[in-house]
Structure 1
């Protein structure tokens, strides 16, 4: 598994983990929903489950279901000033037109 991230993002996540010391100390990347341009992702504190893929970066354990990784591949997690951006690295948004919410 490969997670693309940077030091600033890991520092921000470590701050969250320190404030939530009574919670699991793994950051789960998950599919939060599907839209016209593909999946949207979320982050959450969670336990590592059997079969999860794990990557430790700068003291942060990222966990991801193998089936999610198999379907989207590498993921980029980045602090963007007021939250986190979580996106597949190599997936381009599809041309819209298949749903009514696209104007």
Structure 2
């Protein structure tokens, strides 16, 4: 369903430690879907439900509502650093031909 790189997992663990939330889960959710595909969000969550898929990877427990499984299939959470900045990104197989919601793709 969803995976996390070692780099991203280490960063998540650092954030959890800095915020005294070592026992939290990393919740991944779909924040919206447009013509360019789904927009994802992440948050630290102290609870999980029976409606969640639970994935353990590199010492991080990832939870996501089962209703989002379609969008998160083969997804990978990574942490990237470049000259433009750093941050988390979620890569999925969902790609759009138009690239943005500019109405030009009529999608």
Normalised-by-shorter TM-score class: 0.7 to 0.9
SS at match of 2:96: coil
Deviation of 1:101 (Å): 7.7
Q: Look up the match of 2:91.
A: 87
Provide the alpha-carbon RMSD of the alignment.
2.5
Listed as ranges, the gaps of 5+ residues in structure 2 are none
TM-score (norm 1): 0.80
SS at match of 1:80: strand
Deviation of 1:99 (Å): 4.7
SS at match of 2:33: strand
Deviation of 1:87 (Å): 3.0
Higher strand share: 2
Q: Look up the match of 2:68.
A: 68
SS at match of 2:67: helix
Instruction: Report if the CA contact (8 A) 2:36-2:100 is conserved.
Output: no
Instruction: Report if the CA contact (8 A) 1:38-1:94 is conserved.
Output: no
Listed as ranges, the gaps of 5+ residues in structure 1 are none
